[in-house]
Structure 1
């Protein structure tokens, strides 16, 4: 019988193992097709990388500042006196204060001009919005008024005819009803005078 092959583990024990190369990190499933979801995961990954770079740069700057503080003592080497750090105040630098004052002056001038020309001093009267169909509406109103006046005239004429027919009928005695006829004629004359036809 032939001897068995030695196991790979035993063969590898003698050699130092190679350090596996880092393949980075993945966000989301690796087998996404091109499309919105894949672009979204790629965007998230880029954002994470950018944030990590910013953190790394911030840590580097902070370490440099700490190192500079340690290297620069707060005392004077020639005289041996220590320098007291200046206390922080809430007062602005003179240049900055001048800029703030200038901007406040500009704002106050703007407010004064706006108040002078503001509409608050004179009340604003809002004009009614003109309808697109204003002419048609006016014509419609006139037409309705005309129809109504014609209707009233027709009713009045009908009423006069009916009253005149009744007044012209002779009484049982055969006499004419002149009093009734006169009232009908008088009402007709008043109506015609009001219309301006007389």
Structure 2
């Protein structure tokens, strides 16, 4: 009886897995739109902890990928990577940012920092996060371009300071953001009549920022 039950369970399980549709570019675009809505809103900005905005978008990207109602084990249609592979690609960098206390949840690092060394990994990480957060505050920023900027920033910063590179295991040369751009799907979500853009102007005025500071 137990054997029959086990066989039935396995059949149902495999049918359920096979029934899941392949993830599509439309699923990815829905995530990009969600990230854009969040990152362009000054209510989520900060001049005291600039790094948080970039970390927020990375965390949200992971959450959005995890919530996709499609097969996470197969390549996304139009991209050379699966949802699970994409998450694995992001995970090491996200954990490093979190451990350094550069994300919203905590401002305390669990990693020892040499504050007198400008080339300590903490400073290399923070500088890129601050720069990417500044870009996200641009009226014309694209979340997919933010990630295209991220790779060179972190890699070059580490090279210049002699900090070992950190890469996701098995990631190879797969870059989903480059594939999105090459496929013509890295697009600008912009509506000049949206009141959020006046909020951006107000934010710059209140914080005495150059209008072009984030372009």
Q: TM-score range by the shorter chain?
A: under 0.3
- Larger RCO of the pair (alpha carbons < 8 Å, separation 6+): 2
Q: Is the radius of gyration larger for structure 1 or structure 2?
A: 1
Instruction: Give the TM-score of the pair, scaled to structure 2.
Output: 0.19
